[in-house]
Amino acid sequence: MGRRRKKYKKVIKKIRKVPKIFQCPNCGSRTLTIKFEKLNIQGYKKAVITCGTCGLYAEMQVPELYEPVDVYAKFVDLFEEGEIEVQFKKHEEERGEVIGEST
């Protein structure tokens, strides 16, 4: 009498993906997004960094090879040192709405 053959479990490796949303160095929430815009300068592009919670807004000129992760690392370094100009804009103010007014 023979035994049944033992079935081996297939090992599944998780493939880690590069994040698209980052943690804001100002407020600590995970709502920081990075978008790219083209520049007329060859070899460079403009990175627009915005936080959906606190309204943090910054622009950086970066090489074309940079990915969002690279821009985030460079932005955090410059933010901690105080070498980058940062504005605070709320989404309602950008659309032309007035905050706190009721009719």
The pTM (predicted TM-score) of the whole model is 0.72
Q: Does position 94 have pLDDT exceeding 70, yes or no?
A: no
> Tens of pLDDT along 1-60?
667 777 788 889 999 998 899 999 999 999 999 999 998 989 999 999 999 999 999 999
Q: Does position 101 have pLDDT exceeding 60, yes or no?
A: no
Q: Does position 95 have pLDDT exceeding 90, yes or no?
A: no
Q: Are 80 and 48 in contact (CB under 8 A)?
A: no
Question: How far apart (Å, rounded) are the C-alpha atoms in residues 25 and 77?
Answer: 10
